């Protein structure tokens, strides 16, 4: 009669911890690497906070002296009358155009690549080039927008208008939307799709009711990244016709007149003011930077809240 000797069960975590303990040299290297990463993080935050502190220190006197007049006044060559209202309107209009164009087209392209297209040499070539387009300098997209949206499609866009600027930035950020959406779709467990097909759902029903809701947080993260880049771009806007000088807009202009007329945006306004010789424009530049950060923060906050909502539903 033989007796069976049971060995105590060892969890994976205990085995990994024991292996690390036995290899003290590797553990020291890991600790040093972790400290270096922490120092890099602290250094990056220190630089960021220093820049924000310097901008706020310069901008707060402007808001203290003029109050909301800085936000409601239009552009002017006189520093005491200059404001960021036209820049705010331009940035918001361009951002809305980017969301309406880049978001649905980018998500649709990613859905086709990941859910419908076969794994062929052509689709791999397309995927590689989409990733390459995400690293193309923004000035190249500005030249592309000038050639297509300002020149070839002038009848539709009106030439050097906010419509052309919004379409140019939509093309600029679309690769980011495609890449982040593709990665989010790949992260959806295969069991979710198989369960939907097992219940008799069609491919579109599985994508609409199961895949997209599960991938929504990652898709919205890509939207946040694309919006952040679009709001801060200046070079493409300058190339497609954003006004770098001083101009006035009539109070009687309608919505379409605003889209079809002379325009500017907060990054272009900042670039215009920082080149002026008057010292007062330096303070106005800092105030415009604070407003730009505020617009970016508000826009990103809305997208983050929407993303968290979908994460809670998925959980």
The lowest-confidence range among 1-15, 83-97, 178-192 is 1-15
Nearest of 194, 197, 212, 205 to residue 114 by alpha carbon: 212
- Residue 117 pLDDT level (bands cut at 50, 70, 90): confident
pLDDT > 90? residue 309: no
One CATH from 1.20.1110.10, 3.40.640.10, 3.30.40.10, 1.10.3720.10 for 67-314:
1.10.3720.10
* Residue that is written with structure tokens 């649905």 in the block: 104
* Predicted TM-score (pTM) of this structure: 0.78
Phi, psi of 123 (to 5 degrees): -70, -35
State mean pLDDT over 122-130: 87
Q: Measured between alpha carbons, how far is residue 211 from residues 196, 225, 244, 307 in Å? A: 10, 21, 45, 15
Nearest of 269, 258, 266, 255 to residue 295 by alpha carbon: 266
Q: Measured between alpha carbons, how far is residue 65 from residues 61, 70, 80, 190, 220 in Å? A: 6, 10, 10, 60, 39
CA gap 95, 127 in Å, rounded: 26
Q: Do 271 and 234 contact (CB within 8 A), yes or no? A: yes
pLDDT on residue 46: 96
| pLDDT tens-digit series, residues 131-183 | 888 888 888 998 988 899 888 888 887 778 888 888 999 999 999 999 999 98
Q: Do 82 and 273 contact (CB within 8 A), yes or no? A: yes
pLDDT > 60? residue 189: yes
Give whichever of 17-26, 80-89, 102-111 has the largest mean pLDDT: 102-111
Mean pLDDT score across all residues of the chain = 82
pLDDT on residue 313: 67
CA gap 294, 301 in Å, rounded: 10
Radius of gyration of the chain (CA): 26
């Amino acid at each position: 009669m033989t007796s069976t000797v049971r060995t105590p069960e060892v969890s994976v975590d205990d085995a990994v911890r024991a292996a690390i303990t036995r290899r003290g040299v590797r553990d020291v290297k890991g600790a040093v690497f972790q400290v270096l990463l922490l120092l890099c993080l602290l250094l990056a935050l220190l630089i960021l906070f220093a820049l924000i502190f310097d901008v706020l220190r310069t901008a707060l006197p402007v808001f203290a002296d003029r109050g909301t007049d800085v936000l409601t006044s239009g552009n002017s060559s006189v520093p005491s009358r200059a404001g960021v209202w036209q820049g705010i309107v331009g940035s918001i209009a361009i951002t809305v155009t980017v969301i309406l164009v880049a978001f649905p087209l980018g998500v649709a392209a990613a859905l086709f690549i990941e859910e419908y297209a076969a794994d062929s040499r052509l689709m791999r070539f397309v995927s590689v080039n989409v990733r390459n387009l995400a690293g193309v300098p923004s000035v190249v997209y500005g030249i592309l927008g000038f050639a297509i949206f300002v020149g070839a499609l002038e009848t539709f866009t009106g030439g050097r208008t906010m419509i052309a600027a919004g379409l140019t930035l939509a093309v600029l950020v679309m690769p980011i939307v495609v890449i982040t959406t593709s990665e989010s779709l790949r992260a959806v467990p295969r069991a979710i799709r198989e369960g939907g097909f097992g219940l008799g759902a069609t491919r579109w029903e599985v994508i609409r009711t199961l895949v997209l809701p599960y991938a929504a947080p990652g898709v919205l993260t890509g939207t946040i990244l694309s919006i952040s880049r679009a709001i801060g771009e200046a070079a493409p806007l300058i190339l497609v016709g954003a006004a770098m000088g001083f101009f006035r807009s009539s109070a009687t202009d309608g919505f379409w007149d605003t889209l079809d007329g002379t325009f500017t945006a907060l990054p272009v306004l900042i670039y215009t003011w920082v080149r002026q010789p008057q010292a007062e424009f330096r303070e106005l530049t800092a105030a415009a930077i604070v407003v730009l950060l505020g617009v970016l923060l508000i826009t990103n906050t809305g997208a983050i809240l929407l993303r968290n909502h979908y994460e809670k539903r998925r959980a």
